[in-house]
Amino acid sequence: MKDSEGWPFMTPGAGTAQSDGRIAAAPANGTAGLPGRSGRLRGVINGAPAFPRRMRGGTGTSHRENTAAFHSLPAHLHYLCPQLAIPDTMDKESRYIFWGLLVIAAICLLPFPGLSDFHTKGEPREAIMAYDMLTDGHWILPLYNDGSVAFKPPFFHWLIALFSAMTGSVSEYTSRLPSALALLAMTLGCYVFYARRRGAMVAFMTALILMTNFETHRAGLNCRVDMVLTAAIVGALLLLYRWTERGMRGTPWGALVLMGVATLTKGPVGIALPCLVTWVFVLMRGGRFWPTTGRLAAVGLGACVLPLLWYAAAYLEEGDAFLAMAYEENVLRFTGKMTYESHENPWYYNVMTIVAGYAPYTLLALLGLFALPLRRAGRRTGAWWSRLWRSIREMDPVRLFSLLSIVVIFVFYCIPKSKRSVYLLPVYPFIAYFLAEWMLWLWQRRPWVIHTFGSVLGVAAVMLTSVFVAVRLGFVPDTIFTGRHAAENIAYLHALETVPLDVISSTVIVVAPVLALKYLHDLMRRSKRRQPSMVLQPLIIAMGIYMALDGFYQPTVLNVKSDRSVAETVNKVQPDGPIYEYVQRGAGRYFNINFYTGDRVLIFDKALPERGTLVVGTADYREKLIPRFGDRYTFDLVLNSGHRSCDTKDTICVYRFQRRPATE
């Protein structure tokens, strides 16, 4: 690697470590150790001779000598020597960091999933599937209360049902717990993977960045299938990489199970993506086409065994209707030929979602652009592209695998018309790894970038707390809010003003500003600016901000947004029996009210009952319900909640209705 003007990530990785710790030059063609004519896939990920069980150095280098050569480097310089084959083990220090990371991740993720009420249509829609499993026993194909079948495989709902059975009820906490545990497991898995191959410092920073970027953190505290799917896909990718380290010999049982779990969570994409990334990786490292394709095809078929059991059981229950639904959700969605529009967006939408989803680290990437050497910018495009391609081909195998995981998955999800930010979650751990190396590279060469980034986060943490104190003291008047949603914003403001504070709430509020003030204080002291802890402190500040948001600010605001209060009133009006809804706009259903009333809400215009209680929006009542059913039913207003539904975006009203006699 070059000195201060060198570029990060583009260093060849084909060299091997000698017993004295020096890096031997790699063969010019970069083909040492690649599959020979026999077709045996040995050592395909390394420029050195094959290593069947553990990563070794070059020829004549023992495992112990290679370990000593690596650990003789200062901890903060490990990432500067990607050519050195790092043993596939963790030293005592790395194991201590693992347990510390486990405690940190558990504290940051596990206490908070149940604090916020459901406030989106997606979360109660998933949670109600577990409710149906536990109450009606529909474990293969859970049903909505209108009789329609869930269109996603049930593994995520099985997990919710399991945790809910342990606690006695389906709640916000048990519904979000699978996602939180999946993020925790993925974070620890990525740490172990990179600690064994890139060193504990890079791995620890990768884990912290992964936990504290906006998209993965949000998905980890949501009752949606995406984080469980992501953890299974990423875990399968890491285990398949380990399989290639061993020459693709034997059966990667762990990867097979995780790909099966991913398929049971959201469909065959859980098998396709890990196999596709690994196939491209092995071919780029010089693996032969047909042996590589055959082995990964066998792995993919093996991963199908577990999901096929469920698909067969589902087909026995629903027959051809299930096959048609599965075909549309998987094949037609990918080809853009679905019978209905579903999250259709242009290809650049994926770029925008990653840029936004990786906040606050997007700011770090932008600041880091000013630190790159620009003297190569004048070179010819052809020469630049040739050099870039050669650098990628010769890249260290761990970096190459991480890069291909990003590129292949990103391109894959650019193909279908249906695009959502959560589809790209499997690339986030690998982006976190490159950001960790990027931060260390900047710390060695352009520390002002890290200082600036940390200062921005520190100021944001202090400002967040300062604004809350101002709101709490009544310094923020209601009159600052105007426009269509002024009433909602004023309600949020009053909630922050009046919410009671206890010891736990006060603690999560002050953690971030205390960390921020310490960082800013250390930054002003020249003697502490270059301490190794300064590169980690911005990540810790980000974690403190998320703890404040998850533990206090978001629950306080979002519980006002939720429809739960209206549902509790409906439960008093109609303590048992069915409740009816009429929705012609928004989400199409009152999913939140249905969850908080115990899955009792039926569709009025399908059931056409004699009498009962009706939940309807003011606009739907005036513009749709009365013109259509006013001559057949009488409607008596019970409650005008004044609350704008988070499902339909219409003000919720509750009516008593009765069918008119035929003589009227």
Query: In this predicted model, what pLDDT tens digit does every residue of 264-299 receive, in sequence order?
Result: 999 999 999 999 999 999 999 989 999 999 999 999
Structure tokens at 194: 């990179």
What's the pLDDT band for 312 if we cut at 50, 70, 90? very high
Same domain, 533 and 400: no
Same domain, 549 and 607: no
| Domain-located, residue 475 | yes
The Cα 656–Cα 637 span in angstroms is 6
Quick one: pLDDT at residue 133? 95
pLDDT band at 663 (very low <50, low <70, confident <90, very high): low
Q: Which of 646, 648, 649 is nearest to 117 (CA)?
A: 646
Residues 278, 353, single domain; the answer is yes
**Domain co-membership, 176 together with 161:** yes
* Domain end call among 561, 592, 613: 561
In this prediction, residue 328 carries a pLDDT of: 82
Residue 114, in any domain of the structure: yes
Same domain, 432 and 454: no
Domain closes at, from 511, 534, 561: 561
Summarised one tens digit per residue, pLDDT across range 35-60 is 333 333 333 333 333 333 333 333 34
Q: Are residues 398 and 460 in the same domain?
A: no
Question: What is the per-residue pLDDT for 331?
Answer: 79
Q: Which residue has the higher pLDDT, 170 or 29?
A: 170
- What pLDDT does residue 540 have? 96
- Residue 639: inside a domain: yes
| DSSP-assigned states of every residue in 189-252 | HHHHHHHHHH-HHHHHHHHHHHHHSHHHHHHHTSSSSHHHHHHHHHHHHHHHHHHHHTTT-S--
Enclosing domain of residue 551: 447-561
Q: Within a domain: residue 568?
A: yes
Contacts of 600-607 with CB under 8 Å at 24 or more apart are: 600/145, 600/574, 601/145, 602/145, 602/146, 602/578, 603/146, 604/580, 605/629, 606/146, 607/578, 607/580
Q: Say yes or no to pLDDT of 153 above 90.
A: yes
Tell me the residue type at 620.
D
| 307 in the same domain as 200 | yes
Number of compact structural domains in the chain: 3
Give domain status of residue 12, yes or no: no
pTM, two decimals, is: 0.86
Helices 447-472 & 428-445 angle (0-180, nearest 10):
110
Mean per-residue pLDDT for 591-617? Answer: 94
Could you read off the pLDDT of 215-262 as tens digits, one per residue?
999 999 999 999 999 999 999 999 999 999 999 999 999 999 999 999
Phi first, then psi, for residue 534 (nearest 5°) are -65, -25
Could you tell me if 12 and 394 are in contact, meaning their C-beta atoms sit under 8 angstroms apart? yes
Listed range (318-322, 519-523, 598-602) with the worst mean pLDDT: 318-322
- Tokens representing 343? 């999250």
User: Going by DSSP bridges, is the β-strand pair 579-582/611-617 parallel, antiparallel, or unpaired?
Assistant: parallel
Do 403 and 506 sit in the same domain of this protein?
no
Q: Do 400 and 490 lie in a common domain? A: no
The answer on 467 and 435 residing in a single domain is no
Q: Given 540, 561, 582, which residue is the final one in a domain?
A: 561
Considering the domain architecture, whether residues 507 and 649 belong to the same structural domain is answered as no
